[in-house]
A and B are shown apart, each in its own frame.
Chain A
Amino acid sequence: MKSGGSLSIWFFIGVSLLVNGTLIFATGIYEIVSPPANRVVLYGLHANIWWGGVLLVLGALYCWRFSPARERKRLAENS
């Protein structure tokens, strides 16, 4: 689904997941280096690292797959 120009809704979603995933992943790494005083339940599972990583990878995939350049190329091929 295209928007005003060549940006797909899925590209916006990719950007959101990529940025959030990066921030959460980086926070998880920082917590390993500098453990917090008040820890959440199941802190030892380091959910922010693997969940942030999942979001980061998913976001990167969406950004690549639906990037404006690829979309323009695909549209040109179809037209």
Chain B
Amino acid sequence: MLAVLVGYLGDFELAEESVAEAFAVAARRWPAEGTPASPVAWLVTTAKNRAIDRLRRDRVLAAKLRLLEATAQATVEAEVDESEIPDERLELIFTCCHPAIAVDAQVALTLRAVAGLATDDIARAFLVPGETMKRRLTRAKTKIRDAGIPFRVPEPGRLEERLAVVLAVIYLIFNQGYSAPGQAGHLAAEAIRLGRVLAALLPGQSEPRGLLALMLLHDARRAARLGGPGGQDLVLLADQDRGLWDWAQIAEAREILTPLAGRRGPYLIQAAIASLHAAVPADWRQIAALYAELAELTGSPVVRLNGAIAIAQAGAAGAALEIVDDLDLPGYQYWHSTRAELLRRLGRSGEALAAYRDALALAGTEPERRFLLGRIAELAGDGGTRSG
């Protein structure tokens, strides 16, 4: 319903307030007068009328008022069939994820307007005060109205590049939930829900389904990722209790991927890699080959880093280290920890120790810190007997 009102008005604040008022009126009148035959149509008409009343008081939007009056007249007179009310969720998603809006605001707006989460809930999940999140949302809505960000699905020529922005927002939401299960655990489920909605609304596009499969595969391992007392120990993929994986979810992800086997796209490839990771034994050569494809597509040094890990897993730690050393990622924690791991495997303990310490300095979560400290303790105990 919100989507339809935003579409008519181009103004989030006004749309939200009008919808809230319409619900309030319904709550007062329906118990006494009975529920109307088409409750959604009634609500939409009432919300539009409320919006018209507000706009009447605002001369700057006089032109918009003329448009609203024309449409409101028509709907009051006609019997509006509920099925005629357009599903404008896709327009809403693309508007929330418009590149002219700051990325953190795209994320907040999507969670607020598309997923329907409360502002305080979103604030807590991203570890910012409620007032900060409120301001962030208001600024974004004001920008949409004042800068004339259109409420529409991008035209075919622009769809793919705009879709990439939407997918990035959904994946950001997922990763927030994935990496901070305490505060933000439910965000992973929200992201998956958003992924399902997007995939259903864009059946002709394969990347939304790729992202959905990717999230399902990562999420399926959620119960096995953390161990130890208080769940503060990171469990590496190879050591995870596969009995704790959600195999139904893995199967669902694989079903999504199977008909898309011939297609290529960054999320599809990542999903294929994640699917291969779940197999035993893992086909590291195939995984490495997929990373190479992904690196070609995206030119991302982080992808090359992950590809090097696969090459190491396939048995070539020396070659992997050469690739890793060539990358320029001094601020990236996992570059240091990957170098450290490879150096460790090659018996170069002194250098490995230094690299683990660099990674520790950048580590962001408690489980990661504990893992790195553990490795450092092992090597420091061993350091006297090796050269490095």
A binds B: no
**Chain A interface (Cβ < 8 Å from any Cβ of B):** none
